């Protein structure tokens, strides 16, 4: 039986152990900070990035991998007839999945491209599920069906501590951003169909934690929780108390990571992402 290769991008919060264990292929995005270019996860540390962003003259920009990078990878992985499943961050925030789709059309390999509609751990939920099923010899049809199910049963919240980057990135107006900053408003948003969508506003870290935990317990009541992930941009003040609340319910494998520069560019320092999926 031919192997199914799993490809994703550097916005998936995967550990090195997971990447090696399942043979996942990670294609990095690029970050431009003023006149300097960095490769996400290669020569740019997520924590160091926050300092570089703070001192930059302009808001850093992320660039999706070139179509040729994907095409070369697909050709190499598929040269012996193996199939490829390429799962990527939401097309609502990056052109990465479009590059992958264009490369798949140009490639002689058998490539299936999926827009995860998510980022961070919510992307890795789909990638890991696919990789585990591929390792068990499941078919492409079975894997794609399960990935779609995982996506439908995934929830992602992002909480921004400071509104500066949302203003600079054009996601909220400057006047609204100024008022929000003065009132110390912390917007809570979801990714609905892959698009940043505000759902609530609170004014303290404690209220953020309380709101997220309340929604989590209500939505997952009576369901089997498969995985929970928290990513942060130097915001353990919110991430750690939320993680403890989740663990106190009996869930002991909450994933906690420092998020990638690609995401920090959108959210700014102090943000957290809270993600989970269930059956």
pLDDT of residue 59: 84
pLDDT of residue 54: 86
Nearest C-alpha neighbor of 263 from the set 230, 214, 215: 230
Taking CA atoms, 65 is separated from 68, 95, 244, 247, in Å, by 8, 9, 37, 37
pLDDT digits (tens, 9 = 90+) for 226-264: 999 999 999 999 999 999 999 999 998 999 999 999 888
Q: Averaged over 101-106, what is the pLDDT?
A: 98
- Determine which of 52-61, 94-103, 110-119, 238-247 has the lowest per-residue pLDDT on average: 52-61
Per DSSP, the residues of 41-110 read: TTTB-HHHHHHHHHH-SS--EEEPPPHHHHHHHHHHHHTTS-EEEEEES-TTT-SHHHHHHHHHHH-SSE
Question: Is residue 203's pLDDT more than 90?
Answer: no
Tell which wins on pLDDT, 197 or 181. Answer: 197
Q: Are 279 and 227 in contact (CB under 8 A)?
A: no
Q: Averaged over 2-6, what is the pLDDT?
A: 92
pLDDT digits (tens, 9 = 90+) for 121-176: 999 999 999 999 999 999 999 999 999 999 999 999 999 877 554 444 444 444 34
- Other beta carbons within 10 Å of 245: 17
- How far is 239 from 88, CA to CA, in rounded Å? 25
pLDDT digits (tens, 9 = 90+) for 44-62: 889 899 889 888 888 888 8
- In DSSP terms, 229 is beta-bridged to 255, 275
In the three-class reduction of DSSP (H, G, I as helix; E, B as strand; rest coil), residue 171 is classed as coil
pLDDT of residue 172: 43
């Amino acid at each position: 039986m031919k192997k199914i290769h799993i490809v994703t991008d550097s916005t998936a919060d995967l550990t090195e152990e997971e990447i090696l264990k399942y043979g996942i292929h990670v294609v990095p995005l690029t970050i431009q900070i003023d006149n300097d270019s960095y490769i996400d996860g290669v020569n740019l540390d997520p924590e160091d990035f926050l300092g570089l962003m703070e001192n930059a003259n302009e808001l850093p920009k992320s660039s999706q991998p070139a179509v040729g990078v994907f095409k070369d990878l697909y050709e190499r992985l598929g040269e012996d007839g193996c199939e490829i499943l390429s799962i990527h961050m939401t097309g609502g925030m990056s052109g990465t999945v479009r590059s992958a789709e264009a490369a798949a059309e140009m490639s002689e390999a058998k490539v299936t491209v999926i827009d995860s509609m998510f980022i961070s751990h919510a992307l890795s939920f789909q990638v890991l599920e696919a990789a585990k099923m591929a390792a068990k010899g499941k078919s492409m049809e079975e894997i794609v069906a399960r990935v779609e199910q995982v996506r439908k049963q995934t929830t992602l919240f992002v909480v921004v501590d400071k509104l500066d980057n949302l203003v600079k990135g054009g996601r909220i107006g400057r006047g609204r951003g100024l008022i929000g900053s003065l009132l110390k408003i912390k917007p809570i948003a979801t990714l609905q169909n892959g698009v940043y969508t505000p759902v609530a506003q609170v004014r303290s870290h404690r209220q953020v934690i309380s709101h997220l935990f309340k929604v989590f317990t209500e939505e997952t009541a009576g369901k089997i929780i498969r995985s929970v992930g928290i990513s942060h941009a130097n915001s353990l003040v919110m991430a750690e108390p939320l993680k403890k609340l989740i663990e106190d319910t009996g869930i002991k494998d909450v994933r906690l990571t420092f998020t990638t520069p690609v995401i920090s560019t959108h959210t700014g320092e102090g943000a957290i992402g809270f993600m989970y999926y269930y059956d």
